[in-house]
């Protein structure tokens, strides 16, 4: 269980980095927020994904302490 939560946390942090570094028209089409012709980044998507990743990594750390 701890390994799954850790992997999901890392994946969400990587997705957050993608949202912050790639404009909306260059995002992969399977990610929410992909809009053709929109050259700005998706800040809210990135913050939500990053926060979820941090929460999952904290939960993983808490699971490892037991």
The predicted model scores a pTM of: 0.87
Q: What is the pLDDT of residues 36-65, one digit of tens each?
A: 888 888 899 999 999 999 999 999 999 987
In this prediction, residue 18 has a pLDDT band, given cuts at 50, 70 and 90, of very high
Please enumerate in sequence order all residues whose Cβ is within 8 A of that of 65, keeping only pairs 6 or more positions apart, or say none. Answer: none
Question: Which of residues 14 and 39 earns the better pLDDT score?
Answer: 14
Find the angle CA(8)-CA(13)-CA(18) to the nearest 5 degrees.
125
pLDDT of 66 higher than 80: no
Q: What is the pLDDT of residues 24-34, one digit of tens each?
A: 888 888 888 88
């Amino acid at each position: 269980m701890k390994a799954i939560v850790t992997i999901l946390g890392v994946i969400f942090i990587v997705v957050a980095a993608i949202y912050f570094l790639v404009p909306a028209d260059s995002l992969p089409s399977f990610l929410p927020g992909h809009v053709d012709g929109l050259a700005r980044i998706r800040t809210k998507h990135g913050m939500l994904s990053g926060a979820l990743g941090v929460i999952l990594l904290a939960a993983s750390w808490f699971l490892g302490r037991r």
